[in-house]
Chain A
């Protein structure tokens, strides 16, 4: 599904990674594990073409990502290590914006159910600036289900989450994998997920 070929990236003459090869197949969950500052976030940004690699190519479903960038984005949800919700807008405003942007087919009732699962239903009309870091992270992770994309790329998804939310997230990963999904995430933690493929960075 996602093939990374001979990828190299350096910043200010410091080599961040060199000749990296990675292959993600259907129904797989891959973790890029490494200590702080090892370049995990940079790798994700290079995969998503936010940063430009020095050498190497990335293919999604056999097509070069750079040449078909919007097709690639159309099938990808990217959760950053920081929150991308607009703090001056309410929870529902943010959700409606993401829903429209990804042309999601989820109904209002399904969204309310999702908010209930993540224990956010009481904050529907609250501006996100008044939510705690954990609640904002959960709201951010809602995008995974909201956008209904095949490839999930997540940067440190476990940050700020409590034990229950981590369990829900792991279960969400497993459910997506069963639906033929592909998941790539970075973390310095050791999450408890069966058949997790780990790439040490």
Chain B
């Protein structure tokens, strides 16, 4: 019971921090829309072309936008010792990471859901593709949150080259993009792709708490 209270307390703190950093979220969403404008204006008014490549562009930009908030994942709490204090409060590093992933998923990724239908208008995507995009984004963004956690915790060990974290996210998210964009291919079974995405999400949900916690512990020892 005490642990559940502590978990709820942790999530409450994360939500408060999210509201105090809401400008960051708006700048991420602004980056997303401005990048879409750049693509739309550079590709011209070919409606068929925009419709064909729209889904891929939206997914790629969602991915790039989510890497913008990577640095915020652990850095502040690590540098000021809050992670140690929370751990001393009886929460293992693995659970801290899991809760951080959940809060990143809800407070950083989910607000993008609202921007997806608007972004789809610029590419004139059919309604069923927009539904598919939203559905794959919900699963894919959970995978991205897990990847962000791993790379952000790796960054704690490497304070000089921040780009490495983003590279890790981009590299491992290629399968997510392939399966997410492939969902609108009429020759492919939708259910099998969704099952694959859910499978990847579950694998990363299993791996990331342990790997990120190991990186955090290592970083604390090298602090």
Contact = CB atoms under 8 A, between A and B. Distances in A.
B96 to A, nearest CB: 12
A201 interface: no
* A contacts with B: majority SS: loop
5 interchain residue pairs of minimum CB distance: A101-B89, A100-B9, A84-B81, A88-B20, A73-B88
Contacts of A88: 17, 20-21
B16 A93 contact: yes
B195 interface: no
Interface in B1-17: 2, 5-6, 9, 13, 16-17
B89 A86 contact: no
Interface residues of B, number: 23
B85 interface: yes
Nearest to A129: B20
Interface of B: 2, 5-6, 9, 13, 16-17, 20-21, 76-77, 80-82, 84-90, 220-221
A159 B13 CA distance: 28
A97 interface: yes
Contact of A80 (B13, B81, B90): B81
B21 A101 contact: no
A103 interface: yes
Contact of B9 (A80, A89, A101): A101
B221 A101 contact: no
A102 B85 CA distance: 10
A165 to B, nearest CB: 21
Interface string A69-83: 010011010101011
Contacts of A189: none
A50 B6 contact: no
A51 interface: yes
A93 B6 CA distance: 14
